[in-house]
């Protein structure tokens, strides 16, 4: 399934659930927890949710509010090595499974996350 057909296929609720489930694991994570803003996790959750909704073919709230994603640049301030990338994918895979993300979209979304997360690596 093409990534930008996801929103039309599964709707918004599973995306909201997925991101909530991902973020519910962040604060307690020894690698990722310290990177995220402890006082604005709800804001971070909303930014990722809005980005994914747009990227999956839904409304472009993220671009309206934040402009062009330029995600590699926006991640430059964080130390993202392979360990951090793998942990991000581990938590996101748990989220996909825990929130009963629609089975027909599971591999599409995980492939997308794996590719994007590798692209975000900026440290050794
Ligand atoms: C590879 C491991 C990754 C790490 C360690 C990481 C870490 C972070 C951190 C610490 C933030 C700041 C939270 C905030 O205040 O918004 C952030 C923001 C964000 N991340 Fe990641 N991220 C990773 C991968 C990804 C991937 C794969 C995507 C997309 C599929 C993504 C999408 C975003 C978006 C959209 C934002 C908000 C950017 C903004 O508008 O400022 N990240 N990330």
Closest CA to 46 of 9, 68, 15: 15
Q: Could you tell me the pTM of the whole model?
A: 0.98
pLDDT of residue 37: 96
Compute, in angstroms, the gap from residue 95 CA to the centroid of ligand 1.
15
CATH architecture of 3-119: Orthogonal Bundle (1.10)
Helix/strand/coil (H/E/C) assignment for every residue in 82-94 = HHHHHHHHHHHHH
Q: Which of 43, 47, 56, 66 gets mutated to test ligand 1 (max ligand atoms within 8 A of its CB)?
A: 47
The arithmetic mean of pLDDT across residues 50-60, rounded, is 98
Q: CA 56, CA 15: separation in Å to the nearest integer? A: 9
pLDDT of residue 29: 98
């Amino acid at each position: 399934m093409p990534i930008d057909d996801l929103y039309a296929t599964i709707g918004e609720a599973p995306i909201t659930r997925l991101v909530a489930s991902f973020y519910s694991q962040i604060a307690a994570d020894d690698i990722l927890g310290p990177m995220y803003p402890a006082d604005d996790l709800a804001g971070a959750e909303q930014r990722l949710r809005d980005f994914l909704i747009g990227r999956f073919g839904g409304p472009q709230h993220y671009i309206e509010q934040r402009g062009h994603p330029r995600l590699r640049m926006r991640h430059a301030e964080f130390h993202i090595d392979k360990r951090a990338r793998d942990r991000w994918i581990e938590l996101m895979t748990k989220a996909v499974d825990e929130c009963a993300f629609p089975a027909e979209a599971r591999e599409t979304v995980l492939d997308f996350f794996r590719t994007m997360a590798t692209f975000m690596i900026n440290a050794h």
